[in-house]
């Protein structure tokens, strides 16, 4: 368990990998980040595999201008069918969320799929978003 976060919605988090822990450090250090969280299982209802499986992103990050669903993955896994199907489902979720929030003075939702080797504690969140925002395939 890790603690001491100032921008996180919760005080304690477990991380599944060093990449996720390092990404949390990036979020804490970046001035553009307002809040972030590691979603609880079943917090998001993003279905994939013909609605037979449920996907939960690694992080949800809020900035002044947008809300991001973030997934970090091993670089060699990014092009796999499962990861691409999850990414497409998350992109669709972001579209529907934005379709609701934007007319109601909310923020757009975006999906970012980041290869694990791009996550370095000296990176900025905005650079990662600029390089890895998922546009669909």
- In a domain, residue 12? The reply is no
Q: Kindly write down the DSSP assignment for every residue of 100-129, as one continuous string.
A: HHGGGT---EEEEEEEGGG--TTS-HHHHH
In a domain, 13, yes or no: no
Distance in Å from the first CA to the final CA of the chain = 36
Question: How many angstroms separate the CA atoms of 109 and 40, rounded?
Answer: 18
Tell me the per-residue pLDDT of 32-62, one tens digit each, with 9 for 90 and over.
999 999 998 878 788 888 787 888 899 999 9
The whole domain housing 82 covers 18-132
Q: Which residues of 36-49 are buried (b: 16+ CB within 10 A; e: fewer)?
A: bbbeeeeebebebe
pTM beyond 0.75: the answer is yes
| Per-residue pLDDT reduced to its tens digit, 3-19 | 778 898 887 788 888 99
**Any domain includes 68:** yes
8 A C-beta contact, residue 86 and residue 131: no
Whether 6 is covered by a domain: the verdict is no
The number of domains in the chain is 1
> Where residue 106 sits, what CATH number does that domain have?
3.40.1350
Q: Does residue 125 fall inside a structural domain?
A: yes
């Amino acid at each position: 368990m890790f603690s001491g976060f100032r921008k996180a919605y919760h005080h304690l988090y477990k991380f599944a990998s060093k990449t996720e822990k390092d990404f949390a450090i990036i979020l804490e250090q970046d001035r553009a980040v307002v809040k972030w969280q590691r979603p609880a299982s079943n917090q998001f209802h993003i279905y994939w595999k013909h609605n037979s499986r449920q996907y939960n992103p690694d992080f949800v990050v809020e900035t002044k201008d947008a809300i991001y669903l973030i997934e970090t993955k091993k670089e060699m896994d990014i092009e796999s069918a499962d990861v691409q199907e999850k990414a497409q489902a998350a992109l669709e979720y972001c579209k529907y969320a934005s379709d609701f929030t934007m007319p109601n003075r909310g923020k757009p939702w975006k999906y970012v799929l980041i290869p694990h080797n791009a996550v370095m504690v000296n990176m900025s969140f905005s650079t990662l978003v600029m390089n890895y925002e998922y546009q669909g395939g």
